[in-house]
Amino acid sequence: METTTITDTQNLTTEEKILAAAEKEFMLKGYDGARTTAIAEAAGVTHAMLHYYFRTKDNLFDRIIESKIDMIRDIMLGSLDAPGMPLFDKITLAIGRHIDFIAANPGLPKFMINEIFSRPDRMPKVLDQLRSHAPVMLETLQDQIDDCARRGLCRKVDAVMLILDIVSLNIFPFMAAPMANPLLGGIMDDMTSFTEARKKENIETIMRKLQP
């Protein structure tokens, strides 16, 4: 993976320490809830350094959200880098990788949806690179579905709805975990086993949806 999360917190430059602390704070509290003083304190530097390196809270936030957009773009592109693979195998692989990614970045969907919702004006720039990739992905997928359907291997379904189904089934349970887990008898208490169970469940659900 290209973008990594900092964990060692030692022998880093001041700029890197600020970025690492800012990522944690922004992901946890959002733009509005994040405090620049808290970021500086967590980074172990004076809060003036934050302004020295990034001038404003906005600039710092932009750096963080751009790195997150990069992660999402990588995942989007990675989910179709299996040329020539049969549709069912491709979807199975994509669901597995997607859920692994979400389990490794549990706060990311909430963060992105939230910040886009609360500041739609600022987002267009960073979302443009995602927008450029989406249409070809959808077209490629629809072509492969239609091809499968022509050969009687699967049902002819709408690619957009299928993608919506997959990302909904993959993301939402992790996103709603703090609210849903207590209501559902603590099914997510053991996160690793829940992750694997959800992979199987979602693959099954989508395969049944595709059956002729």
Positions in the binding site for DNA (CB under 7 A): 14, 34-37, 45-49, 51-52, 55-58
Q: Which is nearer to a copy of itself, 1 or 160 (CB)?
A: 160
CA-angle at 152, arms to 148 and 154, nearest 5°:
55
- What's the min distance (Å) between Cβ of 40 and DNA? 9
Distance (Å, whole) CA 188 – CA 162: 25
Helix (H) or strand (E) holding 199: helix 191-210
What is the DSSP secondary-structure string of 121-147? TTSHHHHHHHHHHHHHHHHHHHHHHHH
Tokens of 45: 């530097």
Q: Which is nearer to a copy of itself, 6 or 113 (CB)?
A: 113
Contact 137, 80 (CB under 8 A): yes
Rounded to whole angstroms, what are the CA distances from 39 to 19, 20, 62?
Answer: 9, 9, 15
> From the CB of residue 7, how many other CB atoms can be counted at a distance below 10 Å?
6
172's contact among DNA, a copy of itself, none, with CB below 5 to 8 A by partner kind, is a copy of itself
Among 62, 70, 165, 196, binds a copy of itself (CB under 8 A): 165
Quick note: the x/- pattern for a copy of itself over 74-113, rule CB under 8 A, is: ---------------------------------x-xx-xx
Q: Which residues bind a copy of itself (CB under 8 A)?
A: 28-30, 32-33, 107, 109-110, 112-114, 116-118, 120, 127, 130-131, 134-135, 138, 160-161, 163-165, 167-169, 171-173, 175-176, 178-180, 182-185, 187, 197, 201, 204-205, 208-209, 211
